[in-house]
């Protein structure tokens, strides 16, 4: 099980600031979003617009071995400024 | 040297401006974003900002160092917490030798902050609550 | 409402910034020009600014009202007298509803100030005295 | 005789903040500069780049009757900011 940090509307929809998710190897952005959607279907529409961050860096198509992953996060559309 | 921060307390515009000053940089451009009352016909009372703080600091540092490498001082501070009308949400400042660069880099930085730094706003409007970036 | 001035005393950046704030204007861009040490290989120690004060105020008022008519608050203050390195020579601030306008108008105003407002600098450089605008 | 205000390098070259000049009617920018050059030839090279202000407004090709002129000034290249 991996801990995935949640923020903003995503954290509100789930009622938690982080969740535990089962993920396949290698870890990819698509795998994190698919596991989140399966576990918390109410996040589905927001998830479509989320990015994934591994170790506090946005990822796109990269693949990660479990040993490379220290911190996972789902990033809803940002709106600072 | 750049200064970046995610701040839980009100921004001290004067103190942030002072960090930018240097004898080699004669042009200082700052952008301050404040909580605005009206967006078209939507009236806003307050905004709550949250951040993925560690990652936001990393992103701000990347942005600041990229610009400073071209010859500038950079300060970027974003507020988190509950903000009222006219409260400062973000301060972006660039000091450079020439004003054209300072304007260009300051505008680039605030646009980049809005596009890629993990900070979110929850807007308390008269009609309902809105999450920024979603509608 | 705009505020323009020719100031014999040091500029209070914080106070000038505060004049720009308004609930309807969420983006505030300011430009501050300070006395810079190096211009290519010329080293500057100090600058003395003089103005045709009454006419300068008329020109500043024209500039400010033209921009304010498009929806903005404008503050422009230029210092006169003897300035040392890093002293503020000019403050130009624009508050607008949208940041793109605030950047564009602020840069327009500082360019216009430099081109058409009767203010002069006498630059005390290491090698000699230079009058701005003449070489 | 008309009082003409001087500024910056022009005032330094003459050693005065204003001068008295005889001017033809109508008053024009060219007439002010020509009269200044005749009276103070040392200002010649700076004068070439000067503008003239009547009543605190830059003038170009306009002509003014004496009764219209309250204040005259010679404006060296500006260099504020």
- Tens digits of per-residue pLDDT, A41-63? 999 999 999 999 999 999 999 99
What would the mean pLDDT of C6-14 be, rounded to a whole number? 98
According to the CATH classification, is domain A2-75 in 3.10.20.30? yes
Residues 21-50 of A with CB under 8 A from B: 46, 49
Confidence band of B135 (pLDDT split at 50, 70, 90): low
- Tens digits of per-residue pLDDT, C86-107? 999 999 999 999 999 999 999 9
Confidence band of B10 (pLDDT split at 50, 70, 90): very high
Contact flag D9-C131 (C-beta cutoff 8 Å): yes
- Strands across the sheet containing A72-75: A18-21, A2-5, A72-75, A51-54, A57-59
What would the mean pLDDT of C107-111 be, rounded to a whole number? 98
Contact flag B58-A56 (C-beta cutoff 8 Å): yes
Question: How far is it, in rounded angstroms, from Cα D76 to Cα D8?
Answer: 7
Determine contact: C37 vs chain B, CB below 8 A.
Answer: yes
What would the mean pLDDT of C32-51 be, rounded to a whole number? 97
Question: How far is it, in rounded angstroms, from Cα B33 to Cα B133?
Answer: 16
With beta carbons under 8 A apart, name residues in chain B contacting C97: 36
* pTM for this entry: 0.97
- ipTM score for this prediction: 0.96
Q: Assign residue D44 a region (left: φ > 0; alpha: ψ between -120 and 50; beta: otherwise).
A: alpha
Contact flag A81-B119 (C-beta cutoff 8 Å): yes
For residue C88, the number of C-alpha atoms closer than 13 Å in the C-beta half-sphere is 26
Residue C35 pLDDT > 70: yes
- C117: three-class secondary structure by DSSP: coil
Q: To probe the interface with C, which of B20, B25, B28 has the most C CB atoms within 10 Å?
A: B28
Residue C135 pLDDT > 90: no
For residue C6, what is the nearest residue in chain D, using CA coordinates? D80
With beta carbons under 8 A apart, name residues in chain A contacting B122: 8-9
Cα B61 from chain centroid (whole Å): 13
In angstroms, how far is the first alpha carbon of chain D from the final one?
35
Contact flag C134-D76 (C-beta cutoff 8 Å): yes
Q: Write out B116-128 in H/E/C secondary structure.
A: HCCEEEEEEECCC
Q: What is the DSSP code string of chain D?
A: -EEEE--HHHHHHHTSSEEEE---SSB-HHHHHHHHHHH-GGGHHHHTT-EEEETTEEESS--B-GGG-S-EEEEPPP---
Q: Residue B134 has what pLDDT? A: 86
Q: Residue C106 has what pLDDT? A: 98
Instruction: Please state, rounded to an integer, the average pLDDT across all residues of chain C.
Output: 97
Q: Residue C1 has what pLDDT? A: 81
- B41: three-class secondary structure by DSSP: coil
Instruction: Please state, rounded to an integer, the average pLDDT across all residues of chain B.
Output: 97
Q: Using CB atoms, which chains have 3+ pairs under 8 A with D?
A: C
Residue B116 pLDDT > 80: yes
- Tens digits of per-residue pLDDT, C46-65? 999 999 999 999 999 999 99
Contact flag B34-C24 (C-beta cutoff 8 Å): no
Residue A21 pLDDT > 70: yes
Residue C134 pLDDT > 90: no
- Tens digits of per-residue pLDDT, D29-70? 999 999 999 999 999 999 999 999 999 999 999 999 999 999
| Strand positions, DSSP E, chain B | 3-7, 27-34, 38-39, 42-51, 73-79, 81-84, 88-96, 119-125, 129-131
Contact flag B116-A78 (C-beta cutoff 8 Å): yes
């Amino acid at each position: 099980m991996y801990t995935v940090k949640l923020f903003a509307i995503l954290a509100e929809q789930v009622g938690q600031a982080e969740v535990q998710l089962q993920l396949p190897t290698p870890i990819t952005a698509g795998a994190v979003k698919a596991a989140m959607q399966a576990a918390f279907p109410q996040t589905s529409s927001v998830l479509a617009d989320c990015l994934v961050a591994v170790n506090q860096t946005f990822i796109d198509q990269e693949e990660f071995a479990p040993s490379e992953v220290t911190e996972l996060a789902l990033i809803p559309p940002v709106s600072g400024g | 040297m750049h200064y970046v921060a995610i701040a839980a307390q009100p921004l001290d515009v004067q103190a942030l401006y002072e960090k930018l000053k240097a004898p080699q940089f004669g042009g200082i451009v700052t952008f301050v974003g404040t909580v605005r009352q009206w967006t078209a016909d939507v009236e806003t009372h307050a905004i709550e900002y949250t951040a993925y703080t560690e990652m936001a600091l990393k992103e701000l540092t990347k942005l600041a160092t990229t610009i400073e490498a071209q010859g500038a001082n950079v300060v970027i501070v974003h507020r988190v917490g509950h903000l009222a009308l006219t409260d400062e949400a973000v301060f972006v400042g660039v000091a450079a030798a020439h004003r054209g660069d300072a304007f260009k880099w300051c505008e680039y930085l605030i646009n980049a902050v809005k596009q890629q730094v993990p900070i979110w706003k929850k807007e308390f409007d008269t009609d309902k609550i809105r999450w920024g970036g979603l509608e």
